[in-house]
Amino acid sequence: MHLTIPLRRASGCALRLTAGIVFLTLLALSHPAAAQSKNRAPGFEALRKEATVAIIPTDIELFEISAGGVLEPKADWTEAALKHFKAALNEKKKSLGIKSIELTDKDADDVAEINALHAAVARSIALHHFGPGFYNLPTKEGKLDWSLGEVTREIKKKTGADYALFSWIRDSYASGERVMTIILLALLSRGQAVAGGGAQVGYASLVELDTGRVLWFNRLARGTGDLREADKAAETLNALLADFPGVK
């Protein structure tokens, strides 16, 4: 019997496994080239030179997968990820060439519900726009035609910005005990692949604040990356903002 179980070392005893969750499998069925061609809304090409982008605080949470496959939130990992991702984003803005504004802590709290709304809309886009064809919505006609609604005008009112950049990430890592469980299950199943390793899923959206229209969208769905380390958090950000629209 030949048994191969791909592992990626994260830190300490925590190991990262190739993702096997159903959501990731569904996304993998979509053609990468087709997904890239659908990142922008019809008619949108680039940001206006004088436009300002409000950077909405990233919604990040990290988990450890227990031996039984339960996702357990890790506050210290999440805190480190927030720190690294924010630093990477501050550096990334220089190369993007955009005029940006960051929300104050109070303003961030005030728009928390809009941030949560973005997460819900982003999940729908990832499934119905970038997912397998049988999940496509006929009314969209294959176009990136999604909106958060006029509620986004609240962000414009607070910041004076023209657009907002939203981002959402969930990252999970298999514990040492989980790794041993998967190895044992693989042995018992005669070397068949066993799902349940870590995964990194993320969404980023550029939204027009006057209308709430999603002008650009990208998503990550993979079994690599590590937001707990600064350099790898920067790599995740670069992947998430790949093909971000430039300034016209």
Domain count, the chain: 1
**Residue 8 resides in a domain:** no
Structure tokens at 199: 């995964």
Task: Choose the weakest-confidence range: 49-63, 85-99, 162-176, 212-226.
Answer: 162-176
Q: What is the CATH number of the domain that holds 69?
A: 3.30.160
Assess if residue 2 is contained within a domain.
no
pTM above 0.85, yes or no: no
Residues 129 and 38 sit within 8 Å (Cβ to Cβ) = yes
Confidence of residue 178 (pLDDT cuts 50, 70, 90): very low
Digit-coded pLDDT (tens) for 48-89: 889 999 999 999 999 988 766 777 889 999 999 999 999 999
Q: Is residue 247 part of a domain?
A: no
> Looking at 32-36, 124-128, 150-154, which range is the least confident one?
32-36
Q: Is the pLDDT score of 180 beyond 70? A: no
Helices (H), the chain: 22-28, 32-36, 75-96, 105-110, 112-128, 153-159, 176-188, 230-240
Residue-level pLDDT at 51: 93
In a domain, 65, yes or no: yes
CA distance 209 to 161: 8
13 within a domain of the structure (yes/no): no
Q: pLDDT band for position 97 (50/70/90)?
A: confident
The domain containing residue 107 runs over which residues? Answer: 18-42+49-240
Q: Does the residue 61 lie in any domain? A: yes
With respect to residue 60, please indicate whether it lies within any of the assigned structural domains: yes
The answer to whether position 94 is within a domain reads yes
